Amino acid sequence: MRQTWRWFGPNDTVSISEMLQARVEDVVSALHHVPTGEIWTTTEINKRQAAIAADSSGLTWLVVESLPVSEDIKRRSGNFQQHIENYKISLTNLAEAGIEVVCYNFMPVLDWTRTELRRRMPHGGTAMAFDLVDFAAFDLFVLERDEAHADFDQSLIADAQERFAQMSEPGKAALLDNLLKGLPGATESWNLADIRAHLAAYEGIDAEGLYENLIAFLREVVPHAEALGLRLCCHPDDPPFPLLGLPRVMSTFGDYARLVADLDSPANGITFCTGSLGVLPDFDPVRFIEKLGSKIHFVHLRNTARDSAERSGRSSFHEAAHLEGDTDMAATVRALMAEQVRRRAAGRADWQLPMRPDHGQDLLSDLEVQGMPGYPLIGRMRGLAELRGLMAAFAH
């Protein structure tokens, strides 16, 4: 697999030169400073490519993560049609710059959701975590969402009420801040009123309605992407269960099987993220790859460990080291390498899968840097080294 690394641009606490020392082969990046719904211009794309090339001895911008889909598009309201046209222009500009893989997601309102960004681990480092009781306390007693009581069972509500009673005011503020960090690199800053307004905008849109909006969006952009030689790949919901009363449509094997069947195109594919999908107890990465591997265009290898049994259809979890969580990473890597062999035998030009070691625990000097949550230097370098070892062993 092609070993890539996510880079948030010139303000990232990890530099291109450090990525080179980690022996990263290519870069995954995005133009986070461009407002969602606006066009990624050739000028801005070239500027990012130049920033990567200036100090990289050959690294290239291989994968876009992400070209964001606006809330208007997800709801098919407001300026959604103009945003779709802008999306297509951005795809054209990316293709002209030589980029072929574009990752996106279709999660309403928030991207990844965590209640803790730096939970102290037994080894002394820190990891991101999602605590279901903390989240329920936020939903019920901080956000005070009207329908929240219907989303949790009585036992969980009682635990959340007790947890909330123990929270200090700074603790409540920190919880809100952590939950709003779900768009890494973004410039948006929301408060409780903003969240309530965004949630209200989704009233009347259930999971089936959101899925229909996704397919309607893809029917407009996928033919354009296919003509350009681009491969679009949808990232799974993170975590893969409903939050704040919002629908989720990309959480399971079944969701992806439906997506690629409903719109069969080489430009309509999957971002295979073992960390997001792996939060569900029934996730089988090998089966996923064997059944849907031909549609995987981009791979996120990370691991999560469930901290509790399912409650109200959800569970607590934390970001584990890459070889230590609930997902069998060795079996996953072996299956992905077998998929590459199949692709190469079939003569596919895209036989080599771009992979990145997604997320990582803060270790050693990461603890002093306090960089982008989930994207430390040492923690990700450890993960990449472990994954590289698996790939070398299976190749041998």
Q: Which residues are tagged catalytic?
A: 235, 273, 300, 358-359, 375
* Residues in a beta bridge with 354: 2
Q: Using only C-alpha atoms, what is the Rg of the chain?
A: 20
The token pair at 203 is: 């009233």
Strands 354-357 and 101-105: unpaired
Question: 77 in helix, strand or coil?
Answer: coil
Nearest one of 372, 370, 300 to 12, comparing CA atoms: 372
The angle formed by the CA atoms of residues 279, 107 and 286, to the nearest 5 degrees, is: 35
Rounded to whole angstroms, how far apart are CA atoms 344 and 386? 25
**How many C-beta atoms surround the C-beta of residue 307 within 10 A?**
14
The token pair at 316 is: 């607590």
Q: Are 17 and 55 in contact (CB under 8 A)?
A: yes
Question: 357 in helix, strand or coil?
Answer: strand
Q: In this structure, which amino acid lies at residue 6? A: R
Cα–Cα separations (whole angstroms), residue 316 to 120, 234, 258, 360: 16, 24, 27, 18
Question: 161 in helix, strand or coil?
Answer: helix
Burial call 131-168: b when 16+ CB within 10 Å, e when fewer = bbbbbbbbbbbbbebeebeebbeeebbebbeebbeebe
- Identify the helix (H) or strand (E) that includes residue 120: strand 116-120
Rounded to whole angstroms, how far apart are CA atoms 158 and 150? 13
Please identify which residue in the block is written with the tokens 């050739």.
Answer: 42
